[in-house]
Amino acid sequence: MSKDIDWGSLGFGYIQTDKRFVANYKDGAWDAGTLTGDATVTMSECACVLQYAQTCFEGLKAYRTEDGRVVCFRPDLNAARMADSCRRLEMPVFPEERFVQAVHEVVAANLDFVPPYGSGATLYLRPFMFGSNAVIGVKPATEFQFRIFCTPVGPYFKGGAKPITIRVSDFDRAAPHGTGHIKAGLNYAMSLHAIMDAHRQGFAENMYLDPATRSKVEETGGANFIFITKDGKLVTPKSNSILPSITRRSLMVVAERYLGMPVEHREVLLSELGDFAECGLCGTAAVISPVGKVVDHGREICFPSGMEQMGSYTQKLYDTLTGIQMGRIPAPEGWLHTIA
């Protein structure tokens, strides 16, 4: 029985659901963790997360498949990436098998919130961890909380599959040798002014460049880039300050194995953008959002795929990836976890 929600008109917002998972770390160990109906967090005013932003998060989705199952997509990769984030932020790793188990439990406890197959909506899961005890000198917390909540969502960008216009940002989201490669809350704090400034100027997102030389394409605030060459190759930027997107890594496999497209994972220069036929943003929230135009300080780079619909290669990648996620196309071994 699905909840009484107008699934088709959902945007990317928060709706409180029934249950979430909570585990606490104290005296050097994680407790057993539990599902709770309490959607609030109470902690010290001096908690490390509040003073020094010691927090990281993840994002993944659960889907209803064509044959009526409820599945989630590659949660083991989110568990591994969160472990990397925790190590970089001096936080204790929540064991990867327990992370995957907790994802299963949260989805199973909120089945009524998994949108119907074909509705265009999905259930977004947000695992996160924060330093919870009082810390006033700059040092890591010793107590932590790990939580996973879920919320049904629609498209991340208004208009769904309609191409967006983005701008080359003068702000950076990451520093050389910084934290761009992990999912630290601080990276998103860095991007808040940049995204509001972009919106005020009429752009949907920022294209961030490499912070050291400002000559190479990195990513946006919440998604990696994919480019398609005129001869049908998938090119995607490589950099050690980009978040290793699970969607992007999956698309590289989809392109090669399912669509027979050559794949290049390499540095992409801002100066070569005009050579590409198609451009898209990929991520759990973004899925694949086509980019029609990039504006670089008044210079417009318009992709031949245009502003009306996604390009044909992007469309094939989108159809194949979402086909795998919704059970219409056989998934590579281990990609789908059946929950119900």
- Which residues lie near ligand PLP (CB under 6 A)? 59, 219, 222-224, 243, 245-248, 283-284
- CA 87 – CA 77 distance, rounded (Å): 15
Verify binding: residue 283, ligand COI, rule CB under 6 A: yes
CB of 1 to ligand PLP, least distance (A): 29
Strand partners, 234: 228, 263
Verify binding: residue 285, ligand COI, rule CB under 6 A: yes
Looking at beta carbons only, is 151 or 224 nearer to ligand PLP?
A: 224
Helix (H) or strand (E) holding 197: helix 185-200
- CA 60 – CA 127 distance, rounded (Å): 8
Looking at beta carbons only, is 110 or 187 nearer to ligand COI?
A: 187
Verify binding: residue 222, ligand COI, rule CB under 6 A: yes
Verify binding: residue 56, ligand COI, rule CB under 6 A: no
Q: Which stretch binds ligand COI (CB under 6 A): 22-30, 64-72, 254-262, 277-285?
A: 277-285
136, exposed or middle or buried, with CB in 10 Å at 0-12, 13-18, 19+? Answer: exposed
246 binds, among ligand PLP, ligand COI, none (CB under 5 to 8 A by kind): ligand PLP
CB of 150 to ligand COI, least distance (A): 12
Looking at beta carbons only, is 79 or 273 nearer to ligand PLP?
A: 79
Phi, psi of 147 (to 5 degrees): -135, 155
Looking at beta carbons only, is 141 or 279 nearer to ligand PLP?
A: 279
DSSP one-letter string for 18-67: S-EEEEEEETTEE---EEES-------TTBHHHHH--EEE--EEEEE-TT
Query: How many distinct helices (H) and strands (E) make up the chain?
Result: 6, 17
Verify binding: residue 127, ligand COI, rule CB under 6 A: no
* Nearby residues of 133 by Cβ (< 8 Å), 6 or more positions away: 43, 44, 47, 48, 141, 142, 143
- CA 180 – CA 338 distance, rounded (Å): 32
Strand partners, 146: 23, 129
Q: Which stretch binds ligand COI (CB under 6 A): 136-144, 278-286, 304-312, 324-332?
A: 278-286
For ligand COI, the binding residue among 236, 284, 289, 314 (CB under 6 A) is 284
Residue 55 gets which letter from DSSP? E
Would residue 202 be called left, alpha or beta, if left means φ above 0 and alpha means ψ between -120 and 50 degrees?
A: left
DSSP one-letter string for 73-84: E-HHHHHHHHHH
Between the CA atoms of 29, 35, 40 and 45, what dihedral angle is there, to the nearest 10 degrees?
-10
Q: Number of residues interacting with ligand COI: please give it, by CB under 6 A.
A: 5
148 binds, among ligand PLP, ligand COI, none (CB under 5 to 8 A by kind): none
Sign of CA pseudo-dihedral 30, 31, 36, 38: negative
Q: Which stretch binds ligand COI (CB under 6 A): 128-136, 143-151, 229-237, 279-287?
A: 279-287
Verify binding: residue 187, ligand COI, rule CB under 6 A: no
CB of 138 to ligand COI, least distance (A): 26
For ligand COI, the binding residue among 44, 59, 83, 98 (CB under 6 A) is 59
243 binds, among ligand PLP, ligand COI, none (CB under 5 to 8 A by kind): ligand PLP
CB of 174 to ligand PLP, least distance (A): 9
Name the site residues for ligand COI (rule: CB under 6 A): 59, 222, 283-285
